[in-house]
Amino acid sequence: MTHVVSENCIKCKYTDCVDVCPVDCFVEGPNMLVINPDECIDCAVCVP
C-alpha cells in the first residue's frame, strides 16, 4: 500500500518529505501536496 498525506500536512510549508522521495511521486494539490499512488514505491523515506 502506498503512503498517503495526512491531515497534519494540510497547508504545511515544509517539503523535506518531497526532497527525499526517490521517485518524485508528490504532486501539488489545491491546499497540500498529495502522493501519486501509481508512482509511490512504499519506501517510507518520507515518513517523519
Which pLDDT tens digit goes with each residue over 1-47?
Answer: 668 788 888 777 788 999 999 999 999 888 788 899 999 999 999 88
- Provide the 3-class DSSP secondary structure of residue 7: helix
Question: What is the pLDDT, as a whole number, of residue 4?
Answer: 78
- Provide the 3-class DSSP secondary structure of residue 34: strand
Query: pTM for the whole thing?
Result: 0.75
Answer yes or no: CATH 3.30.70.20 is held by domain 1-40. Answer: yes
For the chain, the structural domain boundaries read 1-40
- Provide the 3-class DSSP secondary structure of residue 48: coil
Q: How far apart are CA 45 and CA 30, in angstroms?
A: 24
Q: How far apart are CA 5 and CA 9, in angstroms?
A: 6
